[in-house]
Every structure is written in C-alpha cells, then in structure tokens.
C-alpha cells in the first residue's frame, strides 16, 4: 500500500552538513504534506555542530538529526531524491530505482577554513542558498499537492 505522504530524500556524501540543512529547511517549508529525510553514501556519523548552530539562528532545530546511510531507504517508497553535492571532486551518491531526481549542487561548508566566525559565515551563506532553492521547490510542490484531487475511501 502506497503512503499518502510522498517521501523526499536528500542525499550527499557525508550526511553531516548540506543534506541536514536542506532536510530541516524543506521539512519546515512543506509541513506535513511530505516525509522529508536525508542520508549519505559515506555518512560521517554526526551532524556538524555549525550546521546545528546556523539552523538554530533561524528557529529550526536539527540537533536531533542523525547521520544515516542511504541504504536505510532502499526498501522504502521514495518518490523524489535530491542530491546536494557540489564539488567536482565529490562523487554524488546514485539512488537506484524509479524516482524523481534533482541535482542542486552546493559548496560543502565542512571544508571552510579560517576562524570560527569565518567558518560560520560560510555555513550561513550555504544555508541561505539552500533555503532559497528549497523554499521555491517547496512552494511548487505544495501548490501541486493542493491541486491534486482528494482520494476518498471506497
């Protein structure tokens, strides 16, 4: 039986920064219309503390997120996969099966150098770029869902 709420899976390599920023932002934007999750092909095993900090600044708590492997989602019903890997030297994961696919590359803030404030500035910049793209995507998907005919039980 197919779930009424489509699952959107956001993938990157380490599942420690960009995919968690995107997951938190998209979940906040779409509410309960979709199930939103994130994963990686080589999970780092943690969510970067600066990712948690810059999301807290805008009122989104991702401190409860965990780094997951994409294989955890292979048996589920994933409708859409969005990859957010950005650098040419990174191999973005490929999710098998028939799913809608989008690739929106973002720079990895985990590679930021400099002082803590300079690193936070990079995390904020990437967060804001992700927010712009994913908010527009959420608006389109929300409009699409609202225009779908309601299913009634027979």
Q: Which residues are catalytic?
A: 12, 85, 92
Q: What is the pLDDT of residues 80-116, one digit of tens each?
A: 999 998 764 456 667 777 889 999 999 999 999 999 9
Whether the model pTM is above 0.85: yes
pLDDT of residue 88: 47
Q: Are 65 and 20 in contact (CB under 8 A)?
A: yes
Domain boundaries in the chain? 7-142
19: Cβ contacts below 8 Å, ≥ 6 apart = 10, 11, 12, 38, 39, 40, 84
**φ, ψ at 129 (rounded to 5°):** -65, -45
From its phi and psi, is residue 82 left (phi > 0), alpha (psi between -120 and 50) or beta? Answer: beta
CATH of segment(s) 7-142: 3.40.50.2300
Given a cut of 80, whether residue 129 has pLDDT beyond it is yes
**117 vs 13, more confident:** 117
Q: What is the pLDDT of residues 23-57, one digit of tens each?
A: 999 999 998 889 999 999 899 999 999 999 999 99
């Amino acid at each position: 039986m197919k779930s009424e709420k489509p699952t959107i899976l956001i993938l990157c390599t380490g599942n420690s920064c960009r995919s968690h920023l995107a997951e938190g932002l998209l979940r906040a934007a779409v509410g309960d219309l979709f199930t939103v999750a994130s994963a990686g092909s080589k999970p780092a095993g943690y969510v970067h503390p600066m990712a948690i900090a810059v999301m807290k600044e805008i009122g989104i708590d991702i401190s409860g997120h965990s780094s997951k492997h994409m294989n955890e989602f292979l048996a589920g019903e994933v409708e859409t996969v969005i990859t957010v890997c950005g650098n040419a030297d990174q191999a973005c994961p490929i999710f098998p099966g028939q799913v809608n696919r989008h690739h929106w590359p973002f720079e990895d803030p985990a590679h930021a150098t400099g002082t803590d404030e300079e690193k936070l500035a990079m995390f904020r910049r990437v967060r804001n770029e992700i927010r712009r793209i994913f908010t527009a995507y959420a608006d389109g998907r929300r409009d699409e869902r609202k225009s779908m005919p309601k299913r009634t039980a027979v």
